[in-house]
Structure 1
Amino acid sequence: MMNRPPISQHRDRLGTHQPEWLDHTPLGIFIHWGAYSVPSWAEPHGELGTEPDERTWFTHNSYAEWYFNTIRIPDSRASQYHHETYGSLPYDGFLDMWHAEKFDPDDWTELFKEAGAGLVVLTTKHHDGITLWEAPETYGRNTVQRGPRQDLVEKISRATRRAGLRFGAYYSGGLDWHYRPFPVILSEKDLELLARSVDPEYGRYIFNHCLDLFERYHPDIFWNDIEWPDCAKNFDAHGLGTLLEHYYKLCPEGVVNDRFGEFHSDYETSEYQAMRDSEAADRWENCRGIGLSFGYNRMEGNEHYLTGPSAARHLVDVVSRGGRLLLNVGPHADGTIPAPQRACLKGLGAWMRAARAELSHPSAELLEQACSLPGARLMSHGDHAVLFALENVAVPLDRLPAEFDWRSSRPGDGQTQVSHDHGVLTTAPTQLGSGIILAKRFH
Structure 2
Amino acid sequence: MTEQTWHELSRPLPEWFAKAKFGIFIHWGAYSVPAWAEPIGALGEIADDDTWFAHNPYAEWYFNTIRIEGSPAQAHHREQYGDAPYDEFLDQWKAERFDPAEWAKLFAEAGADYVVPTTKHHDGIALWDAPGTGARNTVRRGPQRDLIGDIAGAVRAEGLRFGVYYSGGLDWSVTDLPPQRSGEQVHSLRPNDAAYNYYALAHVRDLIDRYRPDVLWNDIEWPDAGKHRGPDGLYELFEDYYAANPDGVVNDRWGDTHYDFATTEYSAMSENEAKDVWENTRGLGWSFGFNRLESPAQTLDSAQLAQHWVDVVSKGGRLLLNVGPTAEGVIPERQQQSLRGFGDWKRALGDAAEATERRDPSLPSNGLWRREWWTPSERIVFVDATGEHRLDGAGVDAERSRVLTGDAVVERDGDEAVVRVAGTDGGPVAVAMARR
Q: If the TM-score is normalised by the length of the shorter chain, which range does it land in?
A: over 0.9
In structure 2, relative to structure 1, the CA distance for the partners of 1:182 and 1:162 (3 Å cut) is same
In structure 2, relative to structure 1, the CA distance for the partners of 1:193 and 1:394 (3 Å cut) is farther
Q: Is the 8 A contact 1:224 1:260 kept in 2?
A: yes
* Superposed CA RMSD: 1.8
In structure 2, relative to structure 1, the CA distance for the partners of 1:24 and 1:92 (3 Å cut) is same
TM-score (norm 2): 0.94
Residue 167 (structure 1) aligned to one of 156, 162, 170: 162
In structure 2, the residue matched to 1:3 is none
Is 1:334 matched with 2:325?
no
Q: CA deviation at 1:417?
A: 5.6
Is 1:202 matched with 2:196?
yes
Q: Could you tell me how far apart the structure 2 residues matched to 1:9 and 1:39 are?
A: 46
Q: CA deviation at 1:394?
A: 4.8
- Count of aligned positions: 430
Is 1:348 matched with 2:342?
yes
In structure 2, the residue matched to 1:4 is none
Q: Is the 8 A contact 2:398 2:411 kept in 1?
A: no
Gaps of 5+ in 1: 1-6
Q: Is the 8 A contact 1:50 1:273 kept in 2?
A: yes
Q: Is the 8 A contact 2:372 2:379 kept in 1?
A: yes
Gaps of 5+ in 2: none
In structure 1, the residue matched to 2:94 is 99
In structure 2, relative to structure 1, the CA distance for the partners of 1:356 and 1:81 (3 Å cut) is farther
In structure 1, the residue matched to 2:363 is 372
In structure 1, the residue matched to 2:286 is 292
1:230-287 C-alpha deviation (Å, 9 max, x unpaired)? 1110012211111111111111100000001220000000000101011111100000
Q: Could you tell me how far apart the structure 2 residues matched to 1:261 and 1:161 are?
A: 30
Is 1:321 matched with 2:312?
no
In structure 1, the residue matched to 2:228 is 234
In structure 2, relative to structure 1, the CA distance for the partners of 1:392 and 1:58 (3 Å cut) is farther
Q: How does 1:336-415 map to 2 (within 5 A)?
A: 336-360=330-354, 362-364=356-358, 367-368=359-360, 370-373=361-364, 375-392=369-386, 394-398=388-392, 400=393, 402-413=394-405, 415=407
Q: Secondary structure at 2:189's aligned position in 1?
A: helix
Q: Secondary structure at 1:65's aligned position in 2?
A: helix
Q: Could you tell me how far apart the structure 1 residues matched to 2:234 and 2:408 are?
A: 55
Residue 25 (structure 1) aligned to one of 14, 20, 24: 20
Q: Could you tell me how far apart the structure 2 residues matched to 1:313 and 1:387 are?
A: 12
TM-score (norm 1): 0.93
Q: CA deviation at 1:358?
A: 2.7
Q: Secondary structure at 2:350's aligned position in 1?
A: helix
In structure 2, the residue matched to 1:438 is 432
Q: How does 1:145-184 map to 2 (within 5 A)?
A: 145-184=140-179
Q: Secondary structure at 2:331's aligned position in 1?
A: coil
Q: Counterpart of 1:117 in structure 2: which amino acid?
A: A
Runs of 4+ with deviation above 2 angstroms: 7-13, 356-364, 370-374, 390-398, 406-429
Mean CA deviation greater in 351-360 or 245-254: 351-360
In structure 2, relative to structure 1, the CA distance for the partners of 1:392 and 1:49 (3 Å cut) is farther
Q: Is the 8 A contact 2:406 2:429 kept in 1?
A: no
1:290-315 C-alpha deviation (Å, 9 max, x unpaired)? 11100000000111110111101111
